[in-house]
Amino acid sequence: MSVRVLPPPKVSTIDDLLKVEGKAELINGRIVRSSPNGHGPSIVAGRIFRSLAQYSEARQCGEAFMSKMGSRLPSFHPAGNRSHPMRRITMAQFPAIP
């Protein structure tokens, strides 16, 4: 009986991600493809964007971006340091939009 040893999986980089056609993310060295949003989710996303943009412009407290914008975040590995660079924000922390 022979044992077949598989090579370690390839770790993808941002350069690999930039070559991918369509919607995809780079998560822990893996390229994860995602399907485009449908009509309903796109309507909801547009409304959320409009609301956030109006709120931030009226209060001069930041900017809102559409979901198509790319961003690069520091890597985060759950087995390592548990302090994540992103902070969870809930709707309760925002006053009502007039």
pTM as predicted: 0.47
Instruction: Give pLDDT tens digits for 25-71.
Output: 888 888 998 887 788 888 888 899 899 999 989 998 888 887 666 66
Euclidean distance between CA atoms 64 and 53, whole angstroms: 5
Instruction: Give pLDDT tens digits for 77-90.
Output: 555 444 444 445 55
> CB neighbours (10 Å) of residue 26?
21
Sequence spans of domains, the chain: 9-60
- Measured CA distances, 11 to 38, 56, 72 (Å): 31, 38, 17
